[in-house]
Structure 1
Amino acid sequence: MSPALTLSEHSKNTCSKSEQTPRHDTNSLSKNPLRRTWRGNVEGTVELAVIPKFQDRYAEREWVKAHLAAAFRFWGKQGFGDGVSGHITVKDPVLPDHYWMNPFAVHFSSMTKSKLVLVSPEGYVTPHGAQLPINTAGFHIHSAIHKARPDVVAAAHCHSLHGKAWSTFGRCIDIMTQDACLFYDNLKVYSNFGGIVLAPQEGENIARALGAKAKACILQNHGLLTVGSTVDEAVFLFSALDRLCHVQLLVEAAAANGIPKTVIDDEDAAFTANTLQWWENTYINFQPEYELLLEETNGAFLK
């Protein structure tokens, strides 16, 4: 019988690393980052359905509201509900200076299209949606973001468990995994906590911290914020960032016991980010959840 291994021998990393391979050849890649990620049949008749195009802005409004209601249902499934905290906004296709938002003190898991509120640029409930109050902090944060970033169609913020835990460190996540490349050069930190957001100034501070291009921000001692070209993108990025905060917490615990961590180098991270961060890819990543919600709820959120 061979002798038992000691603890130190158990702890050794016996994996062999592969030889360094040549760097990325991008000449053969499709110019459309979405098209790189899937393939159909030889005949070219199998196609991927992507974001629909609308001639009728009122029809587009109903589509947007359906995806917003589904986004809240998804947050409910993820356990992101936390009292009255948390909000997602999305620009209205009919009145682009207005945005749709969840009502105050309604659980994410019970959201429907008919419960959504259309908010005016001044932050008041309009007659065009549900006649229900909205979250004051949500107005201050989201109105500042929509004003500072005209490219942003949707913004999402709530107090998810792993996001707010990691936020206490006031630092970005490390780019340690393939999915973390979603946030390579795409994540900011608001390194302050100005208290509960009850006035415009704090919302403006958060919008300033997000900056001109990033689609995600860690709000120190608070939580996470993500934005997108669609509500689907904003919500997918939010859940991805929350999971990566969880990964970071696990890795830091292991690293504290002497296990070194490896961060993806800039060239590989940039190459991967070039595909993962494309707005159609982030949109399509939420569609499995949307379709599952339709099936699980029999379309209840469409009411």
Structure 2
Amino acid sequence: MYQLPQVDLKNKVSAQEWQVRVDLAACYRLLQMHGWDDLIHTHISARIPGTEHILINAFGLAFEEITASNLVKIDIDGNIIDPDCPFEINPAGFTIHSAVHEARHEDMCALHVHTNETIAVASTQEGLLRLSQYSMFALASMSYHDYEGLAVNADEKLRLQNDLGNANFMLLRNHGALTMGKTIGDAFMHMYDLTRACQVQLQVMATGMDPVYAPQSIIDGIKAQAAIVHSGETGGQKAWPAMVRRVFRNDPTFAQ
């Protein structure tokens, strides 16, 4: 009963889909390596370019068990594409991810976590504050969504879409965080920045000393500054290859 079904899709899907599968599996492994996983809960989803099909984790797998082959391909309505797929998906995860993919066709990846730091900051009236360089990146494209219980109500999708708008960062009140990215690497780096921003904010507030807030003008110009630092590319483009190499060194089975 504890045996994991073995699936091998290499050379059975397009080269483009396989690359997305490898990158998405690497991202799941990175969340586990950073301690951002939540047993079998939370999700990262990625759209296969040129299609309306989405890849997401199989419900019941720990993140360190996820591979390129055992990711589940679904349509925007949550139907599993492969009739021989031995896995199912989490309905709550599908509600959130189908909503954002439906609204944001230009973005490939949506990443959702339940880390202590993001939940803590999302559960304060003030939300994320201008306290660190990490927060500057998030606050330049920030949104919030009020808590509505477990995300299984289809009616919540429209409110989630409206709250997200064009933002790449969202704090889900009393729940966690969501980031969007045109690539899987971008969504990962956005979550890295948001998580670090929340960690620093909690540490600053714990000192009991008066915080120094960065000027709003810095936030307004941070995207242009980041473009210079990254030579015109995104943080995900620059950092992602190194992150995938890190996963390969840790456990290359993710790419199977």
Say whether the fold is shared (TM-score over 0.5).
yes
Is 1:105 the counterpart of 2:60 in the alignment? yes
Post-superposition offset of 1:179? 2.6
1:270 counterpart letter in structure 2: D
The residue that corresponds to 2:143 in the other structure is 188
The residue that corresponds to 1:126 in the other structure is 81
Q: Which runs of 4+ in 1 moved over 6 A?
A: none
The residue that corresponds to 1:162 in the other structure is 117
Post-superposition offset of 1:63? 1.1
Is 1:291 the counterpart of 2:250 in the alignment? no
Post-superposition offset of 1:173? 1.4
Give the Cα separation in 1 of the matches to 2:105 and 2:153. Answer: 21
Counterpart secondary structure, 1:100: strand
Post-superposition offset of 1:86? 0.4
Is 1:272 the counterpart of 2:222 in the alignment? yes
1:266 counterpart letter in structure 2: Q
2:64 counterpart letter in structure 1: S
Post-superposition offset of 1:128? 7.6
Q: CA contact under 8 A between 1:58 and 1:93: conserved in structure 2?
A: no
Structure 2 CA distance for partners of 1:103 and 1:252, relative to 1, 3 Å: same
Aligned-pair identity (%): 25
Match of 2:23 among 52, 63, 67: 67
Counterpart secondary structure, 2:234: helix
Structure 2 CA distance for partners of 1:75 and 1:130, relative to 1, 3 Å: farther
The residue that corresponds to 1:87 in the other structure is 43
Counterpart secondary structure, 1:109: helix
Cα displacement string for residues 22-43 of structure 1 (whole angstroms, at most 9, x for unaligned residues): xxxxxxxxxxxxxxxxxxxxxx
Match of 1:227 among 157, 166, 180: 180
The residue that corresponds to 1:144 in the other structure is 99
Counterpart secondary structure, 1:118: strand
The residue that corresponds to 1:15 in the other structure is none
Counterpart secondary structure, 1:132: coil
Q: Provide TM-score, normalisation by structure 2.
A: 0.87
Give the Cα separation in 2 of the matches to 1:171 and 1:188. Answer: 12
Structure 2 CA distance for partners of 1:75 and 1:129, relative to 1, 3 Å: farther
Post-superposition offset of 1:67? 0.6
Q: Provide TM-score, normalisation by structure 1.
A: 0.74
Counterpart secondary structure, 1:124: coil
Give the Cα separation in 2 of the matches to 1:114 and 1:129. Answer: 13
Post-superposition offset of 1:158? 1.9
Q: CA contact under 8 A between 2:43 and 2:113: conserved in structure 1?
A: yes
Structure 2 CA distance for partners of 1:217 and 1:279, relative to 1, 3 Å: farther
Match of 2:157 among 196, 203, 208: 203
Counterpart secondary structure, 2:143: strand
Using the TM superposition, name which of 57-66 and 111-120 deviates more. Answer: 57-66
Is 1:135 the counterpart of 2:90 in the alignment? yes
Counterpart secondary structure, 2:25: helix
Using the TM superposition, name which of 66-75 and 281-290 deviates more. Answer: 281-290
Larger Rg: 1
Is 1:178 the counterpart of 2:133 in the alignment? yes
Counterpart secondary structure, 1:113: coil
Using the TM superposition, name which of 80-89 and 113-122 deviates more. Answer: 80-89
1:253 counterpart letter in structure 2: A
2:97 counterpart letter in structure 1: H
Q: CA contact under 8 A between 1:91 and 1:154: conserved in structure 2?
A: yes
